[in-house]
Chains A and B, each alone.
Chain A
């Protein structure tokens, strides 16, 4: 029963990590100096910017969306790869190989189109 082990380990690490953080907090203590400059986020000389003021390239979102598409396509290959030898053993190797060939062709076309439309260019 691996599920019990997974749940046990997750809970154990969560408790262990929380304990470590509280331990470090207790031993580390708090210094007297608590000025606004100290409590500010890191910046090198100039007034610090927080995340609301910084702009983020849309390429990150694009990469994430493309990742989801391609990742699902790859996940579809896993069960196929798992049972490919069984299909061959039962004499159904040719249709399975051909249908996967069509799938891979669509995959390659998608990738080619993506490269051609410059969706993967970082400038």
Chain B
């Protein structure tokens, strides 16, 4: 985590901040979802507590924490209580591996009578060379927490909901995993940071020995222009992975009451919520990274932006920090757009039937993802030959 005490401390605090960032985003997303759904359905939504109903979240949290903690007699108590705690872990571990901005460079300085640095802090929890494989592997551990909750509750509805959810998650994992093969073929790397570096600058690629560059400089070199089918498959599979409508068969209330969290209430329920929204955030962050240039800004590369900021009269270090901050905002704008798409889709599309869901995953999306991979491989082979 670092070479000296300062670096280790900063990196540890950074990890906690990433986790809290995720936990903090959940109430805001819940507010956005309730408010947005209200406007979509021509209602008002929460607008009584605080300005625009923003303090509704605090009121909800107080309500949650004053609820009686309760486990049914037939529950397996260890599993029942461990499941919500474990639900937080996969989402956070995966989210911490997504780069959110340029590295933050701290020049050498004097403190406590000794010299420290220089340091380079990544604006992400940790950098992993095999980023994609790690994120896919860790985030699929969420199926275990669902099964733990379903089995531990001891209820028939929970068990059926958990089985449905896990069958759905693993089925769509095939399409999700296969839609990323095209991305790996395109960039030739597993590392998310390298992918973002490859997407900087204007649209440019090498074909038959010629370098093709877009005439206008503001069209970015994003993955969406090379992998449109891959993007659609990835995003659709991400909906199923995070158990969101139109794929939320796990909690089809007309059939299963509330699915795997039927027996949960209060803070335990809230922790499952954080896990679910965490998966939405991972999907949005990955879609941004793979297909929309990560933290990159269209029309200007980080190095050019650095020059612009330096011309405003900032010092080298301050300009680097400001540059990092601007790219962080750019990442968050894209990230927020994807999260809004998640919410809008939920309140627009009706739910699938279970056999339709499985058919879509196995018989439609898996062959399309396979075809996308084959076409990408052949195109790369023909074009670079």
Contact = CB atoms under 8 A, between A and B. Distances in A.
A97 to B, nearest CB: 5
B263 interface: yes
Contacts of A24: 64-65, 67, 69, 266-268
B32 interface: no
Given A9-B125, A50-B74, A74-B174, 5 more contacts: A13-B19, A18-B85, A41-B75, A42-B263, A74-B181
Contact of B271 (A20, A78, A85): A20
26 contacts: A5-B1, A5-B126, A8-B15, A17-B88, A24-B266, A24-B267, A28-B65, A28-B68, A28-B266, A29-B68, A30-B69, A39-B72, A41-B153, A41-B154, A44-B257, A48-B156, A51-B155, A56-B163, A63-B167, A70-B174, A71-B174, A81-B184, A82-B188, A86-B188, A108-B367, A115-B362
A84 B377 CA distance: 8
A54 B182 CA distance: 42
B373 interface: yes
Contacts of B166: 64
A12 B16 contact: yes
B121 interface: no
Interface in B339-385: 354-355, 358-359, 362-363, 366-367, 370, 373-374, 377-378, 380-381, 384-385
Contacts of B362: 111, 114-115, 120
A102 interface: no
Interface residues of B, number: 83
- Tell me what chain B mostly uses at the interface: helix, strand, loop, or mixed: helix
A67 B132 CA distance: 19
A17 B84 contact: yes
A71 B143 CA distance: 15
Contact residues on A (Cβ < 8 Å of other chain), bracket: 35 or more
A121 B355 CA distance: 7
A67 B163 contact: no
Given A5-B15, A63-B358, A74 B178 contact: yes
B65 A51 contact: no
Interface stretch (B89-97, B110-118, B219-227): B89-97
A41 B170 contact: no
Interface of B: 1-2, 11-12, 15-16, 18-19, 64-69, 72-75, 81, 84-86, 88-89, 92-93, 96-97, 125-128, 132-133, 151, 153-160, 163, 166-167, 170-171, 173-174, 177-178, 181-182, 184-185, 188-190, 257, 262-263, 266-268, 271, 354-355, 358-359, 362-363, 366-367, 370, 373-374, 377-378, 380-381, 384-385
A29 B66 CA distance: 8
A18 B75 CA distance: 18
A8 B156 contact: no
A81 B166 CA distance: 28
Nearest to A51: B159
B262 A42 contact: yes
A53 B12 CA distance: 48
B264 to A, nearest CB: 11
A97 B85 contact: no
Contacts of B354: 122
A107 B367 CA distance: 10
Nearest to B373: A77
A103 B109 CA distance: 56
